[in-house]
Structure 1
């Protein structure tokens, strides 16, 4: 390369918010320039008076390697022959008012392991990928019509070694991937793995957006993890935080002595609920920073999806604030117009470059059209967490079965809006911390009933339209709340009941994969029909899921500890119905109340269907059935 200066076109795109690979020239890039080896540095700091690069290569002396400001631009550039991959560095910035700050590189690809905070010069081109077949298949796949069962993981506390030390990405790959395969998950979702200073933020307060956290190893180690997941046919989703950033002095806050990444309007910048700073989406360079960061994770690490955290905080100027502590938009409203435009553009850019990936919004309000395209007024995501379903369902499941008949609408209300968005059903980390108790401990009743209720919860989730997500530990009945400081209580698998709930989740996932009616039409009303949604007196739900060929799976769920003998439901087809899953089986810790595996239809119209069957519904249990194989036509109600 002849020049270290970004091209005029690169500068134009960057300053107009349209540079979607800004990481290609921003930050530290080792290489050869004018025949000389070294590292090129570029940083955006328009209001700085002077910037030096300090690091291992100059004994951290601030006057040795000064950058030059590009005229009429906020970019500073420089070339340091002595700087090599592996060297630690920071920017020594003299602000416009003479105040000095020492900052990590916003575009650094690697950072020191906490509590140290320096950036590290990194060569990102050393890993040889082996997942081209996976990527080609992904490009031509409509993920909305595929099975998606996600295992949500915090890498630092899934498992640890005998010294209570975290595993690195390679070690985790060799442990976690076989487990994901054994448990029949399709995807793994990782809590944020960009660099963050405080373990207790779980990664949701970021300092290094392009820097993979060094807690678990190197960029090559994580590429190995993703590559091995793909070779095992497992997709990788990461949590990503484009909404706000932490205030640590080495991070983005007051980067050049002024508000660059945050708003210069204090009430908009300050985020009191998390003590962080909100990004300023009216700043085009922030668009280039964040959109290129999303692209970076897909391009450099081959990930398959992003779950954007705290989207509601982006959309509403008054989110989490008292009435007097926010500034309305230019029309007097609470909507963040710049953030809305940003989200639309970000999703448009991601899907144009990476068809087949997932862009998932964690949006906790009823903002419309989150998963509709931007050109019709949507935000452009292709999936959204269904927080309403999660809240209603857990409230229902926590109630004593005696009182559930009066809470029945909490199970059925979600079907009033389930096709308004492309939903993911999350039972996530947020529901098992801060005094909320673990999923198992939320369940009412005695010891046996707690496990039965948990199996029933999972059976209901898998029957409901939408993709699925379960946080680690939930699959084997973790009894205590999640603690990020220690590994999950794997010793519980020495006890039969925890082995049995794990067996059930494994087989439930397998049933889900095997039966296309449970996922093929997740986002179409053609894929779902109630049989009987209103039997609140007995707290029983019955429903049908269909695939594109009209093949049904019948699900009946009994939410009381009272068995329901001779429970008649309508069905769409004459013949024999086979039980393909029963949460009350002995191998799952059930009562084995009914060992019946086949039901013959009666020519008796019921629930609007031409045929019906009489089921034996076990206590606190769900059963899945489907017609024995034949070619007779199915009649819908």
Structure 2
């Protein structure tokens, strides 16, 4: 590949070529530190020599020639040739008269004389599938009015703030009864209904799947061809800005799934972009995922790292996104991930760690933090890699949070068991506490757990219909009390029966049926309790925030524990029964004398103004290794949350 020479930065910014890209731009891009490179590469409306038109620039260092093609020139590869900028691999062209909303691609002539028609890697808008062209667009000029939210975001510490995430696939959350774009809601339509639902339920954030442009619905947006383009399935870039702006004004944060691990082989995409491996590793033992049939980004190339890091900043700064959940982190960290013996390349130390990906993550997360955006970086990392959320200067990767995949696996294995067998698997629910402070965790029950014959959450539960709902209430209560932020996939809060299918809407009619409506109300109550009491989020990563009362009551499958806030004065006691056996006079140990007031249980829901009120004064009576205790009736599959000082 043509590489930029490692020279000192130019003393002065010098215009080269048409003058839109300077010598400094070229230098920074070659160093991998041009964090606004999307303002230079791609398509941008400009005026040149008094004529209005469109400026195009693309990085294609292996190309023999490059041209711009579109409706405006009959898709003729020779109609608008681009000029190379020396020693940079960048080609540029200005085409007068081209305005916004035009379809275009780059016609790249390879060294072998083949012509490849490629979508613009930096395009901010793309054609609705099955079309594959880029669209000229200007994302400047949107009038944001979420300044209060953005200012608060900069000052907040997300680790010590509440975060209850609603994971959403917009295309199947709801559908309209209309033929346009298969009934998809637009960004603007979804903003209003989604904000209302999220606010009413008590979630703090929405995490969106599949917003970057992708050609295949069945990939759920995890095989991206347009990293800078909000998918046209739901509208334009400015309509997506409206979506974010509206949710922010309603006090709701936005997290996007982001995929820097791999990309598909579609002909119009990044694969072999200029006739040779460019964005991907050239060696297929590093450059291809055998399980997924995709290409792997080459983290050794500065320009590729620049493409990705600038893309992360693009979403955070230009679209005001509050966080990025980084998909498939483990696949990036391990050179042998998904590869058999002999089909992977060790690093220079003979190990399976991808040193280039490690450096990329540290660079990426340092930049996001250094720009003082207040945005979160969340790792979907499925192994025991140490220090995922530790700062780079301490040898960590620098993420804000890590998905707790170990907790999720143990939790679901336990919840699927017939209650009789739970006593033999009690440790599955207690083990997560042993490492709860090793990282800043998010407890996740995501889309991956309700597809591919894994069953929906309600259908994972044992027993007949009523038992299933009681089981799920108990499980959700345990999750809400366990240290770590929370994430639940759409439809699971009202007990969606069938597995998630990206092609159809959720079965919203179920939310009007008694058992489903009751579950939805109970989960909403949990969310409102969660937001109200700092004990449930202020010390998630601190041992002072959690105390077992009884972690060893396996024979009865009952768990009891305390959550504390920073003051130590507004504490919560959780008691959860995972069997269908009622304990009419259940005694629980507590550390201090005082009044314990029931604020939520699975029979009555949220206690308001004394309705169904129950409180108990603890007595000097040893129980569960504690000096005080009190007794109360614990129903079958019963849950109870008490507040006390």
TM-score (norm 1): 0.96
Other-structure match for 1:520: 538
Query: Is the Cα contact below 8 Å between 2:525 and 2:605 reproduced in 1?
Result: no
Q: Give the SS at the match of 1:296.
A: helix
Query: Is the Cα contact below 8 Å between 2:63 and 2:110 reproduced in 1?
Result: yes
Change (3 A) 1:586 1:187: closer
CA drift of 1:586 comes to 7.3
- For residues 520-571 of structure 1, the C-alpha deviation after alignment (integer angstroms, 9 at most, x for no partner) is 1111111001011011011011000000010210001111010123222221
Instruction: Structure 1 unaligned segments of length 5 or more: list them.
Output: 589-593, 628-633
Instruction: Structure 2 unaligned segments of length 5 or more: list them.
Output: 1-14
Q: Give the SS at the match of 1:360.
A: strand
Matched, 1:248 2:266: yes
Aligned counterpart for 2:632 among listed residues 605, 611, 615: 615
Query: Is the Cα contact below 8 Å between 1:383 and 1:424 reproduced in 2?
Result: yes
Alignment of 1:304-383 (within 5 A): 304-383=322-401
CA drift of 1:625 comes to 0.2
Query: Is the Cα contact below 8 Å between 2:66 and 2:107 reproduced in 1?
Result: yes
CA drift of 1:53 comes to 0.1
Q: Find runs of 4+ consecutive structure 1 residues off by over 6 angstroms.
A: none
Other-structure match for 1:17: 32
Aligned counterpart for 1:489 among listed residues 479, 484, 507: 507
Query: Is the Cα contact below 8 Å between 1:146 and 1:519 reproduced in 2?
Result: yes
Aligned counterpart for 2:480 among listed residues 448, 459, 462: 462
TM-score (norm 2): 0.95
Query: Is the Cα contact below 8 Å between 2:525 and 2:606 reproduced in 1?
Result: no
Query: Is the Cα contact below 8 Å between 1:371 and 1:422 reproduced in 2?
Result: yes
CA distance in 2 between partners of 1:546 and 1:356 (Å): 26
- For residues 403-435 of structure 1, the C-alpha deviation after alignment (integer angstroms, 9 at most, x for no partner) is 100000000001111111000000000000000
Aligned counterpart for 1:298 among listed residues 309, 316, 319: 316
Other-structure match for 1:424: 442
Query: Is the Cα contact below 8 Å between 1:500 and 1:587 reproduced in 2?
Result: no
CA distance in 1 between partners of 2:618 and 2:269 (Å): 67
Query: Is the Cα contact below 8 Å between 1:5 and 1:77 reproduced in 2?
Result: no
- For residues 383-412 of structure 1, the C-alpha deviation after alignment (integer angstroms, 9 at most, x for no partner) is 000000000000000000001000000000
Other-structure match for 1:575: 594
CA distance in 1 between partners of 2:114 and 2:632 (Å): 76
Alignment of 1:543-562 (within 5 A): 543-551=561-569, 552-562=571-581
Query: Is the Cα contact below 8 Å between 1:452 and 1:584 reproduced in 2?
Result: no
Aligned counterpart for 2:604 among listed residues 585, 607, 611: 585
Choose 321-330 or 410-419, whichever is displaced more.
321-330
Other-structure match for 1:238: 256
Q: Give the SS at the match of 1:406.
A: coil
Query: Is the Cα contact below 8 Å between 2:317 and 2:373 reproduced in 1?
Result: no
Query: Is the Cα contact below 8 Å between 1:4 and 1:40 reproduced in 2?
Result: no
CA drift of 1:5 comes to 4.2
Matched, 1:285 2:320: no
Matched, 1:159 2:168: no
Other-structure match for 1:66: 81
CA distance in 2 between partners of 1:112 and 1:412 (Å): 50
Other-structure match for 1:537: 555
Aligned counterpart for 2:214 among listed residues 196, 207, 212: 196
- For residues 355-407 of structure 1, the C-alpha deviation after alignment (integer angstroms, 9 at most, x for no partner) is 42210000001000000001111000010000000000000000000010000
Other-structure match for 2:290: 272
Number of equivalenced pairs: 623
Matched, 1:401 2:419: yes
CA distance in 2 between partners of 1:475 and 1:5 (Å): 51
Other-structure match for 1:591: none
